[in-house]
Amino acid sequence: MLEILSHQYLKRFIKSHQTDWDHIYSFGRIISKCLQTNETYLINSEIFSTNNWLSALLISLFLFEENSIFVLSHEKIKFLKNNHLGKLKNLGFDFTLENDQINFSNHRVCLITLENLLDDAKTFSSRNHRIIFSGVENIKEDLKNYYRIAFLKQNWFYNFDDSSSVAQKIISTYNSLKKKFFLRKVLDNNNIFLDKEELNFLSKFFHENSSYSDQFLRVSNALSGGWACWVTLDDINFEWNFYLEPIDELSQIKQLLINNKFVFLSGLRKDNFFQKYLKKENVEINLVMNFRSNFIEKKILVYVPPRQMLPNNPMFTKNIFDKSKKLIIFTKGLTLVLSDDADLKLEFATELASIYGKRVLLESIPSLNNEILCASYFWWINNSYLIKSPEQIIIPLLPIPNMAEPINEITVFHKKNLSKDWFREFLLPEAIQKLEKSISPLRKNSGKLIILDGRANKRKWGRSIIQSIQPSKQINYMLPYD
């Protein structure tokens, strides 16, 4: 009954508010079916990066006379309140809005960000809730940002009374550790990894003083939970900072995942790894569905030079510069150069600016059609919706997570100790997902993807990354190459 009713309401809504998404009725029926059967679904579609799907989902939630929670970004909540809820009210829905909660006579729909959901201990520990969870393609990064602890000098001496015995103990411990860590500093590496003895000492210290502040308690809980932790030295101020992150982010919300039923919405064309992550936490998905977005999907033209150098070759940087310059000559539209290596990104921008001048931008929104944009993957993913689809994307290095990042090094070490395939379970999935998010605009215009990292051809895992790009067509010849 819910499926029929939601379809009727959606049909009336679309008569007044046109949509260019052909699959909106099917999506609405799937949501209604999931709510009725109380199962857990994973739905993948690039449409979720737009707002075209919201009406179908909200109509089903409004008609479903049970309480539900809708997890979405702060920006989408703001959009709903300012632009969408009024249109649905005109459809005949009788509700009030109070503190991001849509109240009906028999039920309510709670709009909430992931951060607020995790902050609300009562909701977080609830059972048998129906939760619509959007943006799960970013869930590992979002959880990492939420749980990350940066324990700085001011956190040690918060609300400090230096006359007390506890304060004297904290001062002594802080200074003793500072001396010890700086004596262990090696050349230009400011990161210090803790040995077993140091971890045991810090665990005991923070546990004994956990009542001192909320931050002390957080650190104590993180250490007892086996989180990754390291020290970063501040050479300028001669101080040290303590950082902690969970190695397995999803394990932190395991109770929430197991105790409730979800509709997970992923903005990826096809999420290849989220289901595996859930399975590790004993969360079963009853149905996985993929919907096409609101544009005609075209094949990405993929070019990987067959004899491309490996990144460890001394001539690699010069080689990719030369090839990139030639590629840009024959391009009339936007060229995007992606690199998470900050030095290489800056060097690329400088080298290209010496030839193309003001056409070259460094992480700035283009205003013309033929500009050359150099950016990190993170910047591009967060700003691509503001920019016209590029004609070509040049990738000097595949986005394998940087082992210079302490959390990545600790995660790899942890997986090695568990005899896990740390590369294929951690580094490779991270690279594929980052690449997938970055190149999705090329499907709108059949743009070109040029990968100048020799590992794409010469390593089995590199070839698997290329195969993961769908739909695509590999090209063997591309001007100006012979």
pLDDT by residue (tens digit) across 71-109? 999 999 999 999 889 999 999 999 999 999 999 999 999
| Structural class in CATH, domain 300-474 | alpha beta
pLDDT higher than threshold 90 for residue 161: no
State how far the Cα of 73 lies from the Cα of 139, in Å rounded to an integer. 12
- pLDDT recorded at residue 330: 79
Rounded to whole angstroms, the Cα distance separating 359 from 381 reads 21
CATH topology for 2-143+249-290? Rossmann fold (3.40.50)
- What average pLDDT score do residues 258-274 get? 93
Percent of the chain with pLDDT over 90: 85
Angle (CA) 216 219 223, round 5°: 140
pLDDT at 183: 93
> pLDDT-based confidence at 482, cuts 50/70/90?
very low
Domain ranges of the chain: 2-143+249-290, 147-245, 300-474
pTM of the model: 0.92
Q: Which residue has the tokens 């977005």?
A: 293
Looking at residue 38, its pLDDT comes to 81
Note the pLDDT tens digit of each residue in 418-432.
999 999 999 999 999
Structure tokens at 235: 């050479």
Cβ-based neighbour number of residue 233 at 10 Å? 19
pLDDT at 441: 95
Q: What is the mean pLDDT of the chain?
A: 93
Share of the chain above pLDDT 70, in %: 98
pLDDT higher than 60, residue 480: no
Going from the C-alpha of 8 to that of each of 59, 66, 252, the distances in angstroms are 10, 20, 40
Quick one: average pLDDT of 411-419? 93
The whole-number pLDDT of residue 479 equals 57
Q: What is the SS3 assignment for the chain?
A: CHHHHHHHHHHHHHHHCCCCCCCHHHHHHHHHHHHHHCCCEEEECHHHHCCCCHHHHHHHHHHCCCCEEEECCHHHHHHHHHHHHHHHHCCCCCCEEECCEEECCCCEEEEECHHHHHHCHHHHCCCCCEEEEECHHHHHHHHHHHHCEEECHHHHCCCCCCCCHHHHHHHHHHHHHHHHHHHCCECCECEEECCHHHHHHHHHHHHHCCCCCHHHHHHHHHHHCCCEEEEEEECCCCEEEEEEECCCHHHHHHHHHHHCEEEEEECCCCCCCHHHHHHHCCCCCCEEEECCCCCCCCCEEEECCCCCCCCCCCCHHHHHHHHHHHHHHCCCCCEEEECCCHHHHHHHHHHHHHHHHHHEEECCCCCCCCCEEEECHHHHHHHHHHCCCCCEEEECCCCCCCCCCHHHHHHHHHHHHCCCCHHHHHHHHHHHHHHHHHHCCHHHHCCEEEECCCHHHHCHHHHHHHHCCCCEEECCCCCCCC
pLDDT of 481 > 80? The answer is no
